[in-house]
Chains A and B, each alone.
Chain A
Amino acid sequence: MAYIAAGSIMVSDWHRSPESREFFSKILHNKKRRKFGLLEAPVMPPHLKADIVRYKVFLSGKSGVGKTALAARLAGLDMPKIHYETTGMETCGVFWPVKLRESGRMLFFHFQLWDCGESAMRRFDHMLPSCKEHVDAILFLFSFTDRGSFEDLSNQMSRITEPSDRLVRLVVGTKFDLFMHTDVTESDITRFEEVWGVPVFRVGGDVSGGFGEISLLLNALAENLWHQDCMHASTSVPSYPGHIGPEIIV
């Protein structure tokens, strides 16, 4: 599926506009990201009612590339101090407010990020199918400090997904801040983007916990998921994009 250019469906950099302040304040608490349980969701006052659309996103990549760290970064959780192999599958949720460019409608995207330790996936057969069950998007990760993980990407993308799968594929390079040790050059990335037609995002380094580094990635994810659902809706039975979750109280 063709990749959607940033800003074509949603207002880019919306998190910087004053209009969005009230929405973003719902996902913040004491200047840090608010941590929601499964029974909770941001609730807006009636005049600003915003629907929540839910998507499942699977983080795929070799052991040690930083899947858990990326999930923590996107969800605004405390970053793990040392690297631990993830024991099984873990999920965390990210609420992300967006504004649609055309209709001016405001929405909360909810990304349920799935992260699975590599050794558990190797030892237990049910892990990968479970991660792929009802998945809407896959983030393929590689680390800028590990050339092997970059070279493994194409292999991984063809192994895990079928061209016919209806899902959004994005590639994320982690540990971009460690450019002194980088094993992957800019021309490698450009070539990869051309061959696969998939954009590569860079994260790493921003420890402030702000939205700066992650907003590009989250917006791209939201736009592509929305676009995918709209395309699907126009070709088959008309349906509403996303899965509108059950009513949730806060």
Chain B
Amino acid sequence: MFSIPSSLGMLHSQSVQLLCLTASSGVPLFCRGSTKQLPFSIIGSLNGVHMFGTGHDAALSCCETERGGRVLWRVFHDSLMLIGISSNADVSELHLRRLLENAWNCMVLVLGLDELANTRNVERLKRELRSCYRLIDMLLERGMDDRDGDRGLMGDLTHCADCILFPQADLLQETLDAFTRAAESEFGCLLVRGRLAVATEKWWRLAPQELVLLSALANLPPGKTSCDCPVFLPQGSPNVALRLLCFQLLPGAIACVLCGPRPSLYHVENEQVCRFWSPVVENLRSCLDQAKRSALSPSVGLRRDVLALLLINRESRRSVESLGHACSKATPLLSPARRWELLRLFYTFAATRYFSSEESPSSERPTAELLHEEFSAGFTHLPVHCYLVTDECKCYAVQTPQHQLFLLTDLSVPTFALRSVATHTLDAVTTATGF
């Protein structure tokens, strides 16, 4: 591994790079993430060391450098290899691992499994893969250089669907159900500022990873009014394409349906959209207003020293993230972007070190990664609380059979009080919202 680590310095300090090669022949298919592409010789060596391992019956999955650089390899369906490379210690192994899974799922979503698993013509595949770049780049930017619209979306990391909670969602739910039926579908959802506000029962039954990617794909930029994208569901329908229809009702409020060959985009847009959604336009407006402030309904009273929180419902695999009121004077003032970043880092810290049981062993993940934990290796019990004090904030995580809460508070909260702040917050949020 000698020459690789030093070359990682060539990456921009914040960057993560993603390489895709054919697994058998090592032909590079694409490289995303950095403005400066890695030289071919390095791509070759990265593939070479992995191949060397395979030749000796050893699976090379990850390597770290002394300065915090990290490389992760993974082969999907014996056909394509994805390599994730970061030069920054803040980019965790979990982040990279998720990135590879998500990137693969994106590729399946856009092109279908058959196209990827049975490569017939490499040049053609290379061309087809270009249609995935937009989605892959969006994922690469998450948690790195958050654009405004994406602030605080964490589903790519948690593999839970990012949700937003509204006090009176019944009317929207009814409207969505009726709209979805009219579009000859059972799968429909309403996204508000990139988060799931309401969805039909069937939509919730899609795999959480699929929900995360569909939300990302459906999140049209303001100004685009609708789209009709062929999608393959990585778990639900990897070889038969469905159509994802999205309609920007108001800037930031998007209704989506998954359907078969009918009805046409033109028909739904011109016949159904106004008919169903015009009567609730004021509700949508007030949802958008609320969403500007928080993903939690206004009825939830958060303590003033809460900086940010992430609440996961473990059963339904849904999550809500929110920033606190941020009127504290005690700590160094943390920008919203920094608070989101810290929340992601703390989630990664707690989820990989202490709540690792949550890390469901996915089908193809090498078992070696499960044994990474030094803490759980030495103890027989599973931790249910953990905390961390840094020079920017204090962090506390609680795990119950139903929920996980990750909380950031400012430094003014006494460390001994963190536990009760966290349990109270968990109670307050779950009681007020029924999440």
Q: Is A45 part of the contact surface with B, judged by Cβ < 8 Å?
A: no
Contacts of A166 in B (CB 8 A): none
> What band does the interface of chain B fall in when counting residues whose beta carbon is under 8 Å from A?
35 or more
Q: Is A40 part of the contact surface with B, judged by Cβ < 8 Å?
A: yes
Q: Is A119 part of the contact surface with B, judged by Cβ < 8 Å?
A: yes
Q: Is A78 part of the contact surface with B, judged by Cβ < 8 Å?
A: yes
- Let me know if A124 and B128 touch, CB within 8 A: no
Contact among B134, B226, B261, B281 with A84 in the assembled complex (CB-CB below 8 Å):
B134
Q: Is B277 part of the contact surface with A, judged by Cβ < 8 Å?
A: yes
Measured CA separation A91–B220 after assembly (Å): 10
- Let me know if A88 and B281 touch, CB within 8 A: no
- Let me know if A38 and B229 touch, CB within 8 A: no
Name the distance in Å between B14's Cβ and chain A's nearest Cβ. Answer: 18
- Let me know if B265 and A87 touch, CB within 8 A: no
Name the distance in Å between B76's Cβ and chain A's nearest Cβ. Answer: 20
Listed residue (B137, B217, B224, B270) with the most chain A CB atoms within 10 angstroms of its CB:
B224
Cβ < 8 Å to A, chain B residues 92-150: 110, 127-128, 130-131, 133-135, 137
Contacts of B281 in A (CB 8 A): 39, 249
- Let me know if A88 and B228 touch, CB within 8 A: yes
Cβ < 8 Å to A, chain B residues 41-89: none
Q: Closest residue of chain B to A125, judged by CB? A: B261
Q: Is B250 part of the contact surface with A, judged by Cβ < 8 Å?
A: yes
Taken residue by residue from 230 to 250, chain A's Cβ proximity to chain B (1 for < 8 Å, 0 otherwise) reads as 000000000000000110110
Taken residue by residue from 180 to 194, chain A's Cβ proximity to chain B (1 for < 8 Å, 0 otherwise) reads as 000000000000000
Q: Is A219 part of the contact surface with B, judged by Cβ < 8 Å?
A: no
- Let me know if A134 and B228 touch, CB within 8 A: no
Q: Is A26 part of the contact surface with B, judged by Cβ < 8 Å?
A: no
Measured CA separation A85–B135 after assembly (Å): 11
Contacts of B269 in A (CB 8 A): 38, 91
Measured CA separation A86–B266 after assembly (Å): 18
Name the distance in Å between B30's Cβ and chain A's nearest Cβ. Answer: 12
Measured CA separation A117–B134 after assembly (Å): 12
Contacts of B249 in A (CB 8 A): 37-39
Name the distance in Å between B201's Cβ and chain A's nearest Cβ. Answer: 25
Q: Closest residue of chain B to A134, judged by CB? A: B266
- Let me know if A126 and B261 touch, CB within 8 A: yes
Measured CA separation A56–B261 after assembly (Å): 21
Q: Is A130 part of the contact surface with B, judged by Cβ < 8 Å?
A: yes
Measured CA separation A88–B265 after assembly (Å): 12
Q: Is B370 part of the contact surface with A, judged by Cβ < 8 Å?
A: no
Measured CA separation A86–B222 after assembly (Å): 16
Measured CA separation A112–B266 after assembly (Å): 10
Cβ < 8 Å to B, chain A residues 201-250: 245-246, 248-249
Measured CA separation A85–B229 after assembly (Å): 12
Measured CA separation A245–B225 after assembly (Å): 15
Contacts of B228 in A (CB 8 A): 88-89, 127, 130
Measured CA separation A234–B133 after assembly (Å): 49
Taken residue by residue from 289 to 324, chain B's Cβ proximity to chain A (1 for < 8 Å, 0 otherwise) reads as 000000000000000000000000000000000000
- Let me know if B131 and A119 touch, CB within 8 A: yes
Contact among A39, A56, A84, A91 with B227 in the assembled complex (CB-CB below 8 Å):
A91
Name the distance in Å between A74's Cβ and chain B's nearest Cβ. Answer: 11
Contacts of A177 in B (CB 8 A): none
- Let me know if B274 and A85 touch, CB within 8 A: no
- Let me know if A117 and B131 touch, CB within 8 A: yes
- Let me know if B134 and A92 touch, CB within 8 A: no
Measured CA separation A75–B130 after assembly (Å): 25
Name the distance in Å between B263's Cβ and chain A's nearest Cβ. Answer: 10
Cβ < 8 Å to A, chain B residues 190-224: 217, 220-224
Q: Is A123 part of the contact surface with B, judged by Cβ < 8 Å?
A: yes
Listed residue (B137, B229, B244, B269) with the most chain A CB atoms within 10 angstroms of its CB:
B229
- Let me know if B134 and A87 touch, CB within 8 A: yes
Cβ < 8 Å to B, chain A residues 46-80: 56, 72, 75-78
Q: Is B257 part of the contact surface with A, judged by Cβ < 8 Å?
A: no
Q: Is A11 part of the contact surface with B, judged by Cβ < 8 Å?
A: no
Name the distance in Å between A124's Cβ and chain B's nearest Cβ. Answer: 5
Q: Closest residue of chain A to B228, judged by CB? A: A89
- Let me know if A249 and B278 touch, CB within 8 A: yes
Measured CA separation A246–B225 after assembly (Å): 16
Measured CA separation A249–B228 after assembly (Å): 25
Measured CA separation A38–B277 after assembly (Å): 10
Cβ < 8 Å to A, chain B residues 257-290: 261, 264-266, 269-270, 273-275, 277-278, 281, 284
Name the distance in Å between B26's Cβ and chain A's nearest Cβ. Answer: 25
Name the distance in Å between B213's Cβ and chain A's nearest Cβ. Answer: 12
Measured CA separation A92–B273 after assembly (Å): 15
Measured CA separation A36–B222 after assembly (Å): 8
Measured CA separation A46–B135 after assembly (Å): 45
Q: Is B5 part of the contact surface with A, judged by Cβ < 8 Å?
A: no
- Let me know if B278 and A248 touch, CB within 8 A: yes
Name the distance in Å between B245's Cβ and chain A's nearest Cβ. Answer: 9
Contacts of B227 in A (CB 8 A): 87-91
| Known contacts A119-B127, A130-B265; A90 and B230 CB within 8 A of each other | no
Measured CA separation A33–B251 after assembly (Å): 13
- Let me know if A77 and B223 touch, CB within 8 A: yes
User: Apart from A77-B222, A130-B264, what 13 extra A-B contacts exist at CB < 8 Å?
Assistant: A33-B223, A38-B249, A39-B274, A39-B277, A85-B134, A87-B131, A87-B135, A120-B131, A124-B241, A130-B265, A133-B264, A133-B266, A245-B270
Residue pairs across A and B with Cβ atoms less than 8 A apart, 14 shown, are A37-B251, A38-B248, A39-B278, A77-B221, A85-B130, A87-B110, A87-B217, A90-B227, A91-B225, A117-B131, A119-B131, A120-B229, A130-B264, A130-B265
Sorted from nearest, which 8 A-B pairs have the closest CB atoms? A88-B229, A37-B250, A77-B223, A84-B134, A35-B223, A89-B228, A35-B222, A90-B227
